Amino acid sequence: MFFCTGAFAQGTKVDLILENGTVLIYGARAAGYEEGQHLNIISGGAVVGTVEVINMMPAYAQAQI
Count CB-CB contacts under 10 A for residue 40: 15
The DSSP H or E segment spanning 12 is: strand 12-13
SS3 content of the chain, % helix, strand, coil (to 5): 5, 50, 40
Rounded distance between C-alpha atoms, residue 50 and residue 35, angstroms? 14
Rounded distance between C-alpha atoms, residue 52 and residue 28, angstroms? 12
- The predicted-structure confidence for 21-53, as pLDDT tens digits, reads as follows 899 988 888 888 999 999 888 888 899 889 999
pLDDT at 55: 95
- How is the chain split into domains, by residue range? 2-39+48-64
Q: With 0.85 as the threshold, say if the pTM is over it.
A: no
Helix (H, G, I), strand (E, B) or coil at 30: helix
